[in-house]
Amino acid sequence: MNEMIAKLDPERLRQTLLYDPQSPLLFNTGLFLVLFIGFMAVYQLLRNRPVLKMIATIAFSLYFYYKSSAGYCLILIGICLSDYLLGNFIGRARSRAWRRAGVAFGVVADVALLVYFKYFNLLASTLAAATSTHFDALDIILPAGISFFTFRSISYLVDIYRGDMEPERNLLHYTFCMTFFPPLLAGPVVRARDLLPQIKANPVATTAMTGEGLFLIMTGLIKKVIIADYISGNFVDRVFDNPALYSGFENVMGCIGFTVQLYCDFSGYSDMAIGLALLMGYRFKANFNAPFKAQNPGEFWHRWHISLSTWLRDYLYIPMGGSRRGKGRTYLNNMLTMLIGGLWHGAGWMYLLWGAYHGTLLAVHKAFRGRWRVPEVLRGTTLLRAVNISVTFSLVVIGFAIFRAPSLETLGAMAGQIAGDMHWAVAPQFVQGYLLIVLAIMAGLAMHWAPGRWSGSVTRTYAAMPLMAQSLLLAVVLFLVIQVRSSDLVPFIYLQY
């Protein structure tokens, strides 16, 4: 009884609801579950009053963002207002020069925000090192999700400038679009031209959408908490923290483990974001499409983080000339796009190296694609497909080792262990000693490799189940998540981007 009274203590409740940098409001927390249920009750009550429903959603979204970034909420609101005004200015300007000036101002302002918050210390320290001067890094706190909502802002203004969409005249509609909480912190990168028409339609979730949404939330929780967090805390982090303590085989498994961890963590977040939006009647495009089934580097980027890769294609690669200006320019455009994509992930040379690595893979693949002919006997065979997938997956794992390694020294230590201390004989002992890790990796790969028709069939089956059965299965998944999750909150990896 005393414990229940303590939990209901007003001061403790107040502290829980206020911003706490150590306890952001994430989809995989109990507080979010409680608040979201309360919000959905209000959302349903207001279903026939669209203006009030939008205001309630905006208020919840801003509170959701406040719990992650406190006062930086004002930056998000500022971008909403500036986009609204700039978008209408660009749409009404009769002179192409004024339209170009408007979109240039908006894009430069968004990029300036990213440069200051994400790259200022890196650029300043690099300049100081080059000029042999001293620089004390500023204590700059990165606003959560700034990369995602600034990209959404840029695409909105550029789409208006290109004539691909009309500027939004209703400030409430645009504020809803920019602050909508499911994709706010870690994507997908939802474009205004895809979301605004749905907002204007005042959608209502169907029974099928609700079932699909709940199923995606469950699969997202399983991927994140039961697989990704377990692999990370019990194996991957230890290997990358000190690779020299582990054999080459264990280092290889650590790299594979991180690849599966990152996929489950990020696709799990995307699943939950898409699922939450479905519960409210909104549908986003898929952000992952079985990326490890890719047979070449280009196909991988058509399947991995699709909303970002298509954004980079539409707003960077194609405007730079794409593949229309000869092979040399195509390779350069690929490299520049991937370098910018690497830097988008953070202010670190390892991210830049990762981008350069993938830019090189894309260029090499395009260079040899037309020159090397597959023997006729192998074309279209399962063997060729298996070889292509295996090679591509291996290259992707190497890339993610670069992505995860904190420094070149760590990467070099891992490569040294793999090259000089492989010890394949430890594989049976590894499986025995890390049985749960192996099972978690296999579970993550199994969820990934399941045929699309299977997952679609399971989703439809769940959506067709009686409400009581759906609720019972959801309760079982939540119970498992609570039992498995670590005592410390494990943020989603892409929250830092």
Whether 195 shows a pLDDT value over 70: the answer reads yes
Which pLDDT tens digit goes with each residue over 35-75?
Answer: 999 999 999 999 999 999 999 999 999 999 999 888 889 99
**What's the confidence (pLDDT) of residue 486?**
67
Token look-up 């699909």 returns 212
Is residue 182 within 8 Å of residue 277, measured between CB atoms?
A: yes
- Tell me the two tokens of residue 462: 């769940």
Whether 6 shows a pLDDT value over 80: the answer reads no
Whether 4 shows a pLDDT value over 70: the answer reads no
**What's the confidence (pLDDT) of residue 13?**
78
Residues in contact with 117: Cβ distance below 8 Å, sequence separation at least 6, in sequence order: 140, 142, 143, 146
Residues in contact with 264: Cβ distance below 8 Å, sequence separation at least 6, in sequence order: 223, 224, 227, 228, 231, 444, 447
Q: Please, how many CA atoms are within 13 Å of residue 408, restricted to the half-sphere of its CB?
A: 4
Q: In terms of Cα–Cα distance, which of 320, 315, 344 is closest to 159?
A: 315
Whether 11 shows a pLDDT value over 80: the answer reads no
Q: In terms of Cα–Cα distance, which of 308, 54, 329 is closest to 202?
A: 54
Is 31 buried (19+), middle (13-18) or exposed (0-12) by CB count in 10 A?
Answer: middle
The domain ranges of the chain are: 25-202, 289-372+379-392
Whether 492 shows a pLDDT value over 60: the answer reads yes
Is residue 241 within 8 Å of residue 248, measured between CB atoms?
A: no
Active site residues: 345
Whether 5 shows a pLDDT value over 50: the answer reads no
Residues in contact with 159: Cβ distance below 8 Å, sequence separation at least 6, in sequence order: 165, 191, 192, 193
Is residue 437 within 8 Å of residue 231, measured between CB atoms?
A: yes
**What's the confidence (pLDDT) of residue 218?**
93
How sure is the predictor about 370, in pLDDT bands with cuts at 50, 70 and 90? low
Distance of alpha carbon 3 from alpha carbon 23, whole angstroms:
21
Helix residue ranges, H only, 236-346: 237-241, 248-279, 297-303, 306-312, 327-344
Which pLDDT tens digit goes with each residue over 302-336?
Answer: 999 999 999 999 999 999 988 788 788 888 899 99
**What's the confidence (pLDDT) of residue 53?**
95
Whether 364 shows a pLDDT value over 80: the answer reads yes
Which pLDDT tens digit goes with each residue over 377-433?
Answer: 777 788 889 999 999 999 999 999 999 999 999 999 999 999 988 888 888 999 999
Distance of alpha carbon 1 from alpha carbon 103, whole angstroms:
60
- Tell me the two tokens of residue 266: 């990020």
**What's the confidence (pLDDT) of residue 238?**
94
3-state secondary structure of 146: helix
Neighbours of 358 (CB within 10 A): 25
For a pLDDT cut of 70, what percent of the chain falls above it?
97
**What's the confidence (pLDDT) of residue 126?**
80
Average pLDDT value for residue range 145-151: 89
Residues in contact with 187: Cβ distance below 8 Å, sequence separation at least 6, in sequence order: 148, 269, 270, 273, 287, 305, 307, 308, 494
In whole numbers, what is the pLDDT of the chain averaged over residues? 89
Is residue 176 within 8 Å of residue 51, measured between CB atoms?
A: no
**What's the confidence (pLDDT) of residue 215?**
92
Ramachandran bin of 191, using left for φ above 0, alpha for ψ from -120 to 50, beta for the remaining angles: beta
Which pLDDT tens digit goes with each residue over 269-292?
Answer: 999 999 999 999 999 999 999 999
**Cα separation of the two ends of the chain:** 43
How sure is the predictor about 1, in pLDDT bands with cuts at 50, 70 and 90? very low
Angle at 29 between CA 173 and CA 56, to 5 degrees: 25
**What's the confidence (pLDDT) of residue 3?**
45
Average pLDDT value for residue range 144-168: 92
**What's the confidence (pLDDT) of residue 271?**
94
**What's the confidence (pLDDT) of residue 347?**
75
CA pseudo-torsion sign 11, 12, 14, 19: positive
**What's the confidence (pLDDT) of residue 480?**
85
**What's the confidence (pLDDT) of residue 453?**
82
Minimum mean pLDDT among 101-115, 122-136, 164-178, 191-205: which range? 122-136
Instruction: Give CA 235 to chain center in angstroms.
Output: 22
**What's the confidence (pLDDT) of residue 378?**
74
The pTM for the full model equals 0.90
Which pLDDT tens digit goes with each residue over 227-260?
Answer: 999 999 899 999 999 999 999 999 999 999 999 9
**What's the confidence (pLDDT) of residue 487?**
62
